[in-house]
A and B are shown apart, each in its own frame.
Chain A
Amino acid sequence: MPAAARATRPTLAVFKLASCDGCQLTLLDCEDELLELAGRVEIRHFLEASSAVGSGPYDLALVEGSITTAEDRRRVHEIRAAARHLVTIGACATAGGIQALRNFADVAEYRATVYARPEYIATLATSTPVSAHVPVDFELRGCPIDRGQLLEVITAFLVGRKPDIPDHSVCFACKRRGTVCVTVAHGTPCLGPVTHAGCGAICPAYGRGCYGCFGPSASPNLPALIPLLRRDGMDEPTLGRALRTYNATAFAELAARSGEERPS
């Protein structure tokens, strides 16, 4: 940042749409860095931490959650208009989240089954990522996001550099960490080869397969992995569920796309 701008602190705002709050909590979890961050930026809007609400414009807006209501669809445009940089955080904001399962089902039916007074529930038929509605400057993946990666994104935006958030597969991190591959050595199904890195390959380090919570990597070859998942014991319903969790729409689009064209 230019020296002149250092005198006034940049402003930060955190917004929540349809989500569980887990990703925002990651910011509060940055215990060691939080005080320093608070000294470095002016936190104007962060309801999870403080009820004081400051108005825009904001230098950096972090947006958690997906668009599932007409109200949020309107609000996200306001947030965009008030933010110099808009960064979406977490699977809900970047891919629609687990609530995007409704995209494959009948919302009216869900509503009638789940709620005693469905007429009080106003909701859209789909759950969509923020980027489907407004331009987004950076998408930080994960369910929830990784604390280290969140700090990396914030510090990168503060100094005006590109965040170092690799978009290769989880396998890169898994091997760098020295984990014995659970697929090759144990025959455990793992979505790591098609999943976006960022978690530090936690699941394989504890002997279980990756379940894709960061969504697809930048160059996934899903058709090549599926026979392997089947071989290692995933039946069709399990396979369907594995691909339809937090990033259901992202993996579904991928499956649809790769059905038409062979990856090259």
Chain B
Amino acid sequence: MKDVRRDAWVLRDDGLAALVRELARDGRQVIGPTVRDGAIVLAEVDDAAQLPHGWGVELAAGRYRLVRREDAMVFAHSAGPQSWKAYLHPQHVRRWTADRNAGGEWTVRGEDEREADAVPAYAFLGVRPCDLRAIAVQGRVLGGGPGADTAYRRRLDRTFIVAVECTDPGATCFCTSMGSGPAVDVHDRGYDLAMTELLDEGGHRFLIRAGSDAGAELLTRLPVEGAAPLTESAARHVVADAAERMGRSMPPVDLHALMAGSMAAERWDDVASRCLTCGNCTMVCPTCFCTTTEDVTDLTGDHAERWQRWDSCFDLDFSQLHGGPVRASGRSRYRQWLTHKLGTWHDQFGESGCVGCGRCIVWCPVGIDITEEAAALAEETGQPENRGSVQAAESVRHARQEGGGRR
């Protein structure tokens, strides 16, 4: 008998409908890719027909175009304008409220984070390997340790994740450089089900395997059939092939050391002349976690609320101290973004803050490219090539297995 926990199965494309149905039947809100406003965005899907059947994307620095594919592939597109952080780390949340009574006494109430349990849990359908890593990376920042956000932890813990391996990397993808894709690592504990989409002589189908007990249980309710060895090797092949077709790559240097050694580089002036300091890169980045607080009072002055909203190191107010912002120039703000992402993130959290999804390249209106900036810095500072990227991947793999990604 097959071991449902370990073996791979095959789901025919009509089985996707059953997958969406079963997730909804479990009371989950299913979030997946769907076409809206000329892009493949993440939104609630209540029917597999809403998935982007036959849609693909053409990506370049500062450019995104939705295109019709010649086939009916559903997940043959790379990262879109939002990431899953829009759901796990919402852009605007209330932290506490305070009320003053007639006697002038204040009562402060923190948000009851257990209320998070009253709303439907999410099912994320179609999480790419880079984003699976990003969820784990952000989870280690917000889900535990000194920066712990317990509401975040609750949302993540209750989310059911269906990962889908990448077969069609975009021109801006470089997960291979960051060790985060295009395959889903079998040892990854961050997913419940993982799929590989196949469309060949054998038809349109998904190789599917469980990554958790919840995933294994769900599998028993899906119309799956045993996977033939040929199907398994075909799936391995399309993903290995995708690794060869990455649109971009990071320079093969120790990026952590590169950032530490580039603080005075002239390249920062060059990029600052092009950078709009518009903040789009941090907003689309699936690991950027920064927030600010806003205090709201009503007209009576007897009711106050504190909200948390996404902020960015490109905001002047972000580094505002007494007397003015610490990072007043565009140069210092771009440098903060890049050196945090690729450098000091290692010091803080033991891994890279970049997973190679390419969103910051695509959604930067002027097309500033993180890989090109890193390469220019490496060239200017003469950073030697080494096995740094391999070491980084090692430490990431190590980190992935403890903490954040585990749910």
Contacts and interface: CB of A to CB of B under 8 A. Distances in A.
A33 interface: yes
Contacts of A109: none
A225 to B, nearest CB: 6
A172 B365 contact: no
Contact of A225 (B37, B38, B276): B276
Contact of B41 (A155, A178, A228): A178
A228 B366 contact: yes
Interface in A185-234: 185-187, 190, 192-194, 207, 218-221, 223-225, 228
Interface in B77-96: 81-82, 86, 91-92
Given A161-B297, A172-B279, A176-B309, A181 B365 contact: yes
Interface string B274-302: 11111110011000000000111111110
A264 B329 contact: yes
B57 to A, nearest CB: 9
B223 to A, nearest CB: 34
Q: How large is the interface on A (under 10, 10 to 19, 20 to 34, 35 or more residues)?
A: 35 or more
B301 A158 contact: yes
Interface string A150-189: 0110111011010010111101100110111101111100
Contacts of A178: 41, 81-82, 86
Interface residues of B, number: 50
Contacts of B279: 168-169, 171-172, 175
B36 interface: yes
Given A180-B37, A225-B366, A218 B86 contact: no
Interface of B is mostly: mixed
B273 A168 contact: no
| Most chain A beta carbons < 10 A, residue from B36, B280, B329 | B280
B87 to A, nearest CB: 11
Contact of A176 (B37, B276, B283, B331): B283
B276 A158 contact: no
A183 B296 CA distance: 33
Given A40-B299, A178-B82, A181-B365, A167 B41 contact: no
Contacts, number: 139
Contact of A36 (B62, B269, B297, B300): B300
Nearest to B86: A178
Nearest to B315: A168
B81 A219 contact: no
Contacts of A22: none
Contact of A37 (B278, B280, B299): B299
Nearest to A264: B329
Contacts of B280: 171, 175, 181, 193
B44 interface: no
A239 to B, nearest CB: 16
Given A169-B279, A262-B273, 12 more contacts: A155-B298, A155-B301, A158-B297, A166-B317, A168-B316, A171-B276, A172-B283, A184-B62, A185-B37, A218-B316, A264-B272, A264-B331
Shortest 9 CB-CB contacts between residues of A and residues of B: A175-B283, A193-B278, A193-B276, A171-B278, A176-B91, A180-B37, A180-B39, A264-B329, A169-B278
